[in-house]
Amino acid sequence: MYIRFDDKVAVITGAGSGLGKSYALYLASRGAKVLVNDIGVFPDKTGSSHQVARLVAEEIDSRGGSAKANFENVAEADCAQRIINDALEHFGGVDILINNAGILRDKTILKMPTEDFDQVLGVHLYGTFYVTRAAFAIMKEKHYGRIVLTTSSAGLYGNFGQTNYSAAKMGIVGFMNALKLEGKKYGILTNTIAPLAATPLALSAGIFPKQLTSRLTPGLVTPLVAFLCSDACQSCGEIFSAGGGYFAKAQTVEGPGVRFDPAHEITPEMVAENFGAILNMKGARPFDSAIDELHHVLAPLMDNS
């Protein structure tokens, strides 16, 4: 099996540098037509340039591929719609969407202006929603689509000074958990990655030691993303950690828990006495949906009714 993307159109946000650029070049090298979206904001927030997206598109074209640069802001609904419209007008469709655009505004919660919180949610969470909604309509008509969202270990596990970023990135997981159910019946498969890479954004924030940058290149995340965008992938609703040659599934699970008889009074003291068992994760299990978890909770109650 050799994975290719001939006759497929990929829209990649934040594709002017870092991970997005790596995805764009790689998918194009395997036949995809690529809309390279990037507003071009510099990591140090000193300005912006459309040149970053344009250069990636020109590099793809110079290698015999097909690409178009797009400079719209994912954080604005009308602009996000224009991103998808641009792909439709230039390439005639949208088959693949990689939501990769992102910014950082790190501060501890008491020092964080509301504007910084809003901007991070605007790009990451709202941007994901706006662009995905626009692309989803096209994919639904075709009964085909591959959508890759981007979370972070900061969202999955937390990180000091990133309440805005962590909230946005965990929100994206919740977004996927619902979207996977809506899309799967139309052949639209959505998965989420938590990438670890020494991108310009990460380096500007001083996240990684410089001696590790050569081992944390964006190209070491790209193979997983390319697979998730392909016909070979039939997974839907999964979260994957990727970086430095490491690939792993991440998952939300629920422990076996403790059941009290709801016909009798349940007190805080009873919770305290059983708190160790409540915390126990041995035999923890995942759920496919909120309804699946609800059935798990209610089934014994129905049996005893």
Phi, psi (rounded to 5 degrees) for 229: -85, -5
pLDDT, one tens digit per residue, over 218-251 is: 999 999 999 999 999 999 999 999 999 999 999 9
Which secondary-structure segment (H or E) carries 195? strand 188-195
What's the CA gap between 213 and 129, in Å, rounded? 31
303 confidence band (pLDDT: 50, 70, 90): confident
| Catalytic option among 23, 130, 165, 246 | 165
Strand order in the sheet with 145-150: 66-70, 33-37, 9-12, 96-98, 145-150, 188-195, 239-243, 246-250
Residue 27 exposed, middle or buried by CB count within 10 Å (0-12, 13-18, 19+): buried
pLDDT, one tens digit per residue, over 54-112 is: 999 999 999 999 999 999 999 999 999 999 999 999 999 999 999 999 999 999 999 99
pLDDT exceeds cutoff 80 at 204? no
User: Domain boundaries in the chain?
Assistant: 9-250, 253-305
What's the CA gap between 158 and 21, in Å, rounded? 27
- How high is the pLDDT of residue 233? 98
- How high is the pLDDT of residue 146? 98
Sorted by sequence, the CB contacts under 8 Å of residue 115 that are 6+ apart come out as none
pLDDT exceeds cutoff 90 at 200? no
Sorted by sequence, the CB contacts under 8 Å of residue 263 that are 6+ apart come out as none
* Residue 165 is among the residues annotated as catalytic for this protein: yes
User: What tokens does 292 get?
Assistant: 């699946």
Closest CA to 13 of 34, 29, 31, 33: 34
User: What tokens does 250 get?
Assistant: 């991440």
Which secondary-structure segment (H or E) carries 240? strand 239-243
199 confidence band (pLDDT: 50, 70, 90): confident
Range of weakest confidence among 12-16, 143-147, 210-214, 263-267:
210-214
Closest CA to 283 of 260, 262, 254, 263: 254
CATH of domain 9-250: 3.40.50.720
pTM: 0.93
- How high is the pLDDT of residue 42? 63
Evaluated on CA atoms 79, 35, 194, 284, the torsion sign reads positive
Mean pLDDT of 15-40: 97
DSSP helix/strand/coil, 251: coil
